Amino acid sequence: MSAPLSLEELTRSVKTGEIDTVVVVMTDMQGRLVGKRIHGSFFVDEIAHHGTEGCNYLLAVDVDMNTVPGYDMSSWDKGYSDFALVPDFSTLRRVPWQPGAAMVTADVQWLDGTDVVASPRQILKRQVAALEKAGMKALVGTELEFIVFNDTYEEAWQKGYKGLTPSNLYNVDYSILGGSRLEPLLRAIRLHMSGAGMSVESVKGECNYGQHEIAFRYDDAVTTCDNTVV
């Protein structure tokens, strides 16, 4: 696992050309990363000090990015304005799978500095604070399970995501042989996640055709959830 990236290290890496892009991200209502890719020198000179902005419709859309009526904070009736993406530098990390890139997770605030209460990260932080007030702390570990198909994204879309071919055609639960077929992919994921500062424990096959899991070491709830969306 690589050490977290400090702002000082980022600044040096931008000056040497090792890092040229900083991806500023937030989590939307579907658990996806959304945000901006910022040119490295502009991030260091400007964004690191006052953040950046995003349209508030990002928390008021469906999975296909269509605007949804009924939101008080964002609608065609009230208009679509901006909120602030304020970098949390404890989340600053390298992005090994994207050359020259770093990533930082942002807290979502209104332009007056108050939290956007509907933001998933702000919801979780309020829950964690309430738990700590009660004298407890949440430690969370994840096992991320997924199915690998042989089809490309384009082929899957053209098929309507039906009739896809799984990478394993039998139950590979705990199977070392079955997992070996996908080890190049699984190894790349392990190494990239570790390079991004996550503590990877293990990978294994699962019961469903093409199904595998990657387990990560537990951490505090916010850190684990930040890592999970990455």
Predicted confidence (pLDDT) per residue in 163-182, tens digit: 999 999 999 999 999 999 99
Q: Which two tokens stand for residue 220?
A: 């505090």
CATH number at residue 34: 3.10.20.70
In a domain, 57, yes or no: yes
Give the rounded percent of residues in the chain with a pLDDT score beyond 70.
99
Q: Are residues 11 and 111 in the same domain?
A: yes
In a domain, 121, yes or no: no
Average pLDDT on 7-35 reads 97
pLDDT interval class at 73 (50, 70, 90): confident
Domain count, the chain: 2
Whether 3 shows a pLDDT value over 80: the answer reads no
Q: What's the confidence (pLDDT) of residue 2? A: 64
82, 54 Cβ separation under 8 angstroms: yes
In a domain, 133, yes or no: no
Per the structure, the complete domain to which residue 56 belongs is given by 7-116
In a domain, 77, yes or no: yes
Other C-beta atoms within 10 Å of 203: how many? 18
Q: Are residues 13 and 100 in the same domain?
A: yes
Whether 39 shows a pLDDT value over 90: the answer reads yes
Q: Whole-angstrom Cα distance, residue 97 to residue 101?
A: 9
In a domain, 159, yes or no: yes
Beta strands at 21-27 and 52-55: parallel, antiparallel or unpaired = unpaired
